[in-house]
């Protein structure tokens, strides 16, 4: 990472079947991610953030079933997150923020119960979050959804994510009240709620955060 590599990912890398970590962050890689990327079946960490990668998620990423960390943030990828991502059952960190990804919150992500860090901010996601959100992603410690077009109520079940320390849902279209049950989140260090349409108008309405 942090070099000046240009062009596409070298095809010779796809022969490295025992490669465990591939970190190409902060380079000048362009174009889409090739299907051949899915042949690196031993990968546990794939970091491609801060490049100029465009196009859609290759479905072959679902073949990387040993992945614990996948970061493709700060690129120009578009389209929806493919269902094949649901095969990455060991994934603990997923960072896809600041792209042009769209669609609803990918339903397949609810199956990734090992996730501890999920960053999807700065995209074009929309729609509601499932009411049972917090009952499915119980191990989350950091959740970043800011800068999208999510709407509806914040799920009360987020209060079931007992280890969450950072939650950012700012700059969306959420409505309703901030659930009082959030007062149970004793480990919370950062809560970003600005630029939504919550009904809690007064600072006093947020006293539950110190409960």
All structural domains of the chain, each given as residue ranges with its CATH number in brackets, are 1-127 (3.80.10.10), 128-211 (3.80.10.10)
Cα dist from 85 to 91, 96, 166, whole Å = 9, 12, 24
Give the mean model confidence (pLDDT) for residues 95-110: 97
pLDDT at 137: 97
- Give the per-residue pLDDT at 204: 47
Q: Which helix (H) or strand (E) holds 166?
A: strand 166-168
Residue pLDDT, tens place only, 121-178: 999 999 999 999 999 999 999 999 999 999 999 999 999 999 999 999 999 999 999 8
Residue 131 backbone zone (phi > 0: left; psi -120 to 50: alpha; other: beta): alpha
12: alpha, beta or left? (left if phi > 0; alpha if psi -120 to 50)? alpha
Distance, C-alpha 85 to centroid of its chain: 12
Sign of the C-alpha dihedral, residues 137, 108, 118, 43? positive
Q: What local confidence, expressed as pLDDT, does residue 66 receive?
A: 97
pTM higher than 0.85: yes
Question: What is the pLDDT, as a whole number, of residue 209?
Answer: 60
% of the chain residues with pLDDT over 90:
75
Instruction: For residue 209, give every residue at least 6 positions away whose Cβ sits within 8 Å of its Cβ, in sequence order, or none.
Output: 182, 183, 188, 191
Q: Which residue in the block uniquely carries the two structure tokens 């970061």?
A: 71
pLDDT tens for each residue of 28-70: 877 888 888 999 999 999 999 999 999 999 999 999 999 999 9
In the DSSP assignment, the letter for residue 33 is: P
Report the mean per-residue pLDDT for the chain.
Answer: 90
pLDDT at 94 over 90: yes
Question: Which among 118, 147, 111 has a CA at the least distance from the CA of 132?
Answer: 111
pLDDT at 1: 46
């Amino acid at each position: 990472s942090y070099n000046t590599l240009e062009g596409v990912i070298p095809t010779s890398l796809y022969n490295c079947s025992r490669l465990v970590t591939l970190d190409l962050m902060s380079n000048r890689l362009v174009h889409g991610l090739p299907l051949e990327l899915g042949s690196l079946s031993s990968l546990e960490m794939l970091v491609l953030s801060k490049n100029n990668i465009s196009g859609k998620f290759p479905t072959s990423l679902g073949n990387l079933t040993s992945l614990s960390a996948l970061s493709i943030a700060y690129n120009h990828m578009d389209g929806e997150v493919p269902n094949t991502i649901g095969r990455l059952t060991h994934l603990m960190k997923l960072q896809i923020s600041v792209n042009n990804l769209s669609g609803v919150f990918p339903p397949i992500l609810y199956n990734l119960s090992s996730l501890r860090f999920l960053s999807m901010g700065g995209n074009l996601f929309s729609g509601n979050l499932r009411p049972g959100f917090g009952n499915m992603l119980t191990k989350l410690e950091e959740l970043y959804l800011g800068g999208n077009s999510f709407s509806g109520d914040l799920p009360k079940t987020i209060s079931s994510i007992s280890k969450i320390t950072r939650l950012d849902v700012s700059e969306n279209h959420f409505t309703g009240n901030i659930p009082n049950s959030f007062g149970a989140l004793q480990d919370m260090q950062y809560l970003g709620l600005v630029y939504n349409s919550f009904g809690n108008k007064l600072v006093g309405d947020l006293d539950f955060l110190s409960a």
